[in-house]
Amino acid sequence: MGRNFELFLWALKLGAPINLYLLARTLGIAAPDPHVVVPALILLGVSAFRCVFPNRYVGNVVFHDGPASSIALTRLLATFSEVAYTYQFAYVLRVLNLGRVGWVDALAWLMVAQVVVSQGFVWSAIATRRLRLYFYEELGWFVIFAANTLASAYLYATVDTADAEVLLVLNLVFGAGYLPWQVLHLRSLRVEAAAQPVRVDVRVGLRDAIHERNRRIDAEGWGGLIGLTWMIAYWATLIPLWVHYVAVVVSGR
């Protein structure tokens, strides 16, 4: 694929039918728990959309130059999606916290609070084009999944039901892979932010987020290897499969 991501961006559309298939399966759950099913439906629908109309907030980069690729539209949908699936993961911790251990519930609610804070940072970054604000948004995601991993490690040592253990193992495996990756991501954002001290008027930034679209297919425009792995895992494979599985298992408990 080299320095050109065009083939990948076309292939990313295959994630849309995957998400729609999982969405249909989620709708078919016999006894749905709305605390996990509704967040799954939101994420799967938004992820299908993002696979078809991918974009990157930094630089208002798009693959298709049309209104559906609007940065503001995607960010609005992603705001609901990110809060929803973080709530789902936090709810799992609270459901499996059979001993009602206070600090585990506190970490679960911290995850929900942190994702709301992160939404503020990412919207501010879009409006001002300050890359340092993206750094703080992503730092928030590190906090979220560090909390998820820590609480899961404790619950794994205390919960003895098979379905619960599978959910907790998934949390631990994801944390083991994601947290080191996120450290690299944060480092790259810090370097990028130091090289770009640009700040624009908020009204201009929001206007551009709605109307400005820079069509690019080069690797740099899409964040290189980090951006590539993020799009594949978040929109098309890992996260959609995970939230669907959580909805099935928790609804069946």
pLDDT tens for 193-241 read: 877 766 678 888 889 999 999 999 999 899 888 889 999 999 999 999 9
- d(Cα 172, Cα 152) in Å, to the nearest integer? 7
pLDDT at 113: 98
- d(Cα 55, Cα 63) in Å, to the nearest integer? 6
- List all residues 6 or more positions away from 243 whose beta carbon is below 8 Å from its beta carbon: 39, 40, 43, 44, 85, 88
- What are the two backbone dihedrals, phi and then psi, of residue 4, each rounded to the nearest 5 degrees? -115, 125
Given a contact cutoff of 8 angstroms between Cβ atoms, the answer to whether 152 and 93 are in contact is yes
pLDDT (tens digit, 9 = 90+) per residue, 3-49? Answer: 889 999 999 999 999 999 999 999 999 999 999 999 999 999 999 99
pLDDT at 198: 65
Closest to 239 (Cα-Cα) out of 185, 186, 164, 170: 170
Model confidence at 64: pLDDT above 80 = yes
Q: What is the rounded average pLDDT of the residues 84-109?
A: 96
Tally Cβ neighbours within 10 Å of residue 222.
Answer: 24
Q: What is the CA radius of gyration of the chain?
A: 18
Q: What percent of the chain has pLDDT over 90?
A: 79
Closest to 38 (Cα-Cα) out of 77, 88, 90: 88
| pTM to 2 decimal places | 0.94
Strand 214-215 and strand 61-62: the pairing is: parallel
Q: What percent of the chain has pLDDT over 70?
A: 98
